[in-house]
Amino acid sequence: QVQLVQSGAEVKKPGSSVKVSCKASGGSASNFAIDWVRQAPGQGLRWMGRIIPMFGTTNYGQKFQGRLTITADDSTSTAFMELSSLRPEDTATYYCVYTTESTGLFTDDAFDIWGQGTMVTVSS
Amino acid sequence: QSVLTQPPSVSGAPGQRVTISCTGSSSNIGAGYHVHWYQQLPGTAPKLLIYVNNDRPSGVPDRFSVSKSGTSASLAITGLQAEDEADYYCQSYDTSLSGSIFGGGTKLTVL
From B2, B45, B99, residue closest to A59, measured CB to CB:
B99
A38 touching chain B per CB within 8 A: no
Integer CA distances (angstroms), B82 to A47, B9, B85, in order: 29, 16, 6
pLDDT of residue A30: 72
In the prediction, which pLDDT does A28 show? 61
pLDDT value at position A29? Answer: 66
pLDDT of residue A58: 96
Tell whether the model's pLDDT for residue B101 goes beyond 90. Answer: yes
Chain segment B39-79, per-residue pLDDT in tens: 999 999 999 999 988 899 999 999 999 999 999 999 999 99
* pLDDT greater than 80 at residue A70: yes
Contacts with B, A 7-36, CB within 8 Å: 35
C-alpha triplet B61, B39, A37: angle, nearest 5° = 140
Q: Which sign does the torsion angle of CA B37, B47, A66, A104 carry?
A: negative
Q: Tell me the longest C-alpha to C-alpha distance in chain A.
A: 42
Task: Name the average pLDDT for chain B.
Answer: 96
**What are the tens digits of pLDDT across the range A86-108?**
999 999 999 999 998 888 999 99
* CB-based contact B99 A61, cutoff 8 Å: yes
Task: Please report residues of B whose CB lies closer than 8 A to that of A114.
Answer: 45-48
- How far B107 CA sits from the closest chain A CA (Å)? 11
The pLDDT value recorded for residue A74 is 85
pLDDT at position A1: 85
> Tell me: the pLDDT tens digits for A17-50?
999 999 999 876 678 999 999 999 999 999 999 9
Task: Check: CB of residue A118 under 8 Å from CB of residue A93.
Answer: yes
B34 pLDDT more than 90:
yes
Residue B2 pLDDT class (50, 70, 90 cuts): confident
CA-wise closest residue to A8 among A117, A123, A122, A90: A117
- Pick from B4, B41, B46: which is nearest to A93 by CA? B46
Contact A95 B46 (CB under 8 A): yes
- Position B5 confidence tier, pLDDT thresholds 50, 70, 90: very high
**HEC profile for A12-59?**
ECCCCCEEEEEEEECCCCCCCEEEEEEECCCCCEEEEEEEECCCCEEE
Instruction: Looking at the complex, report in whole angstroms how far the Cα of residue A58 sits from the nearest Cα belonging to chain B.
Output: 11
CB contact A116 to B (< 8 Å): yes
For residue B72, the tally of other CB atoms under 10 A from its CB is 18
Give me the pLDDT at residue A27, please.
Answer: 72
